[in-house]
Structure 1
Amino acid sequence: MSLPVDQRRRLAALKTATTPELKAQWRDLFDTEPPAFNRRYLESRLAYRIQELAYGGLKPETIRRLERLGEELDGGDKRKRGIRADRDRPITGTRLLREWQGVEQIVTVTADGFEWQGRPYKSLSAIARAITGTRWNGWTFFGLKNHRGRT
């Protein structure tokens, strides 16, 4: 089953939309303020949402199964699902993407730290400082933690 033509056009237009346009679409499709993540994240989530609305999203049985798996991991406490301790960093091999001043920055999580532009770093904050020239919380800069400290 393929998407209707208007939905396919809407998906294709995500690539050329400005960031403010993407944020406006986010507000329209999710009825919330957009997160402070990079452009690629907004595009991918908007594309998923457009398709979800066209096809109907996950089946109820899939949602129930995911909820059960979540309960197994956190003992049924939904508040714990959003908590991320700093020691729980992304899995080795994860690529973190961040657009800064029109340039996409890609960081790879390694077994003992992070890699950016072929160089190893011990912290995301050091990478954020190298990119921006100012001090940043690396977790916040790469969208792993919001400005209030929540993940």
Structure 2
Amino acid sequence: MTDPIPARLAALKTTPTPDLKQQWRDLFDSEPPPFNRRYLESRLAYRIQELAYGGLKPETIRRLERLGEDLDGGDRHKRYIRTDRMPIAGTRLIREWQGVEHVVTVTKDGFEWQGRPYKSLSAIARGITGTRWNGWVFFGLKNQRGRT
């Protein structure tokens, strides 16, 4: 007997989005998240394989948790920050605001502006403009729609 799982996974690419969302409801017993189609496909593919072949072994889960704690010191918030989007330490971000050039240096722990350390670009943008800004947008690292 042939394994039906590879065919099911391949079919995800051509399945209409409403049907993907229904599969999500069936497989996860919850409403699908409001993410893009690619996200739904990848998570559904994983779930289908997990149910058919089994999930990660408990020892693997423990090991991954330990590795994560080694990387982030147990700070769960840091686990959700995409490090690949952070500029490399030493990068200088330059923004002119009302005729004044502002230079921000990316550090290993955050940012530096006018000789002071900051955890976020938004705090720096607020310091420059006096109003709330998304710091990534202010410095041109992300457009208004959230794309980098």
- TM-score, length of structure 2 as denominator length: 0.52
CA RMSD of aligned residues (A): 3.1
Q: In 2, are the aligned partners of 1:3 and 1:54 still within 8 Å (CA)?
A: no
Q: Shift of the alpha carbon at 1:65?
A: 0.6
Q: In 2, are the aligned partners of 1:74 and 1:81 still within 8 Å (CA)?
A: yes
Greater Rg by CA = 2
Question: Structure 1 residue runs of 4+, over 3 Å off?
Answer: none
- CA distance in 1: counterparts of 2:52 and 2:58, whole angstroms: 16
Q: In 2, are the aligned partners of 1:29 and 1:49 still within 8 Å (CA)?
A: yes
Secondary structure at 1:20's aligned position in 2?
helix
- CA distance in 2: counterparts of 1:71 and 1:35, whole angstroms: 27
- My pick for the range that moved more, 50-59 or 34-43, is 34-43
The verdict on how the C-alpha distance between 1:88 and 1:63 changes in structure 2, with shifts beyond 3 A counting, is: same
Q: Shift of the alpha carbon at 1:90?
A: 6.4
The verdict on how the C-alpha distance between 1:51 and 1:88 changes in structure 2, with shifts beyond 3 A counting, is: closer
Gaps of 5+ in 2: 89-139
Q: Shift of the alpha carbon at 1:39?
A: 1.7
The aligned residue for residue 40 of structure 1 is 38
The verdict on how the C-alpha distance between 1:81 and 1:32 changes in structure 2, with shifts beyond 3 A counting, is: farther
Q: Shift of the alpha carbon at 1:43?
A: 1.2
The aligned residue for residue 3 of structure 2 is 4
Q: Shift of the alpha carbon at 1:91?
A: 8.7
Per-residue CA deviations over 1:79-109 (Å, capped at 9, x if unaligned) read 4423x27x861699xxxxxxxxxxxxxxxxx
The verdict on how the C-alpha distance between 1:90 and 1:30 changes in structure 2, with shifts beyond 3 A counting, is: farther
The aligned residue for residue 63 of structure 1 is 61
The verdict on how the C-alpha distance between 1:3 and 1:65 changes in structure 2, with shifts beyond 3 A counting, is: farther
After TM superposition, list the pairs within 5 Å mapping 1:90-105 onto structure 2.
none
- CA distance in 2: counterparts of 1:90 and 1:51, whole angstroms: 33
Instruction: Confirm whether residue 89 of structure 1 aligns to residue 88 of structure 2.
Output: no
Instruction: Confirm whether residue 137 of structure 1 aligns to residue 146 of structure 2.
Output: yes
Per-residue CA deviations over 1:37-87 (Å, capped at 9, x if unaligned) read 3222221221121111111011111111100011112222334423x27x8
- TM-score, length of structure 1 as denominator length: 0.51
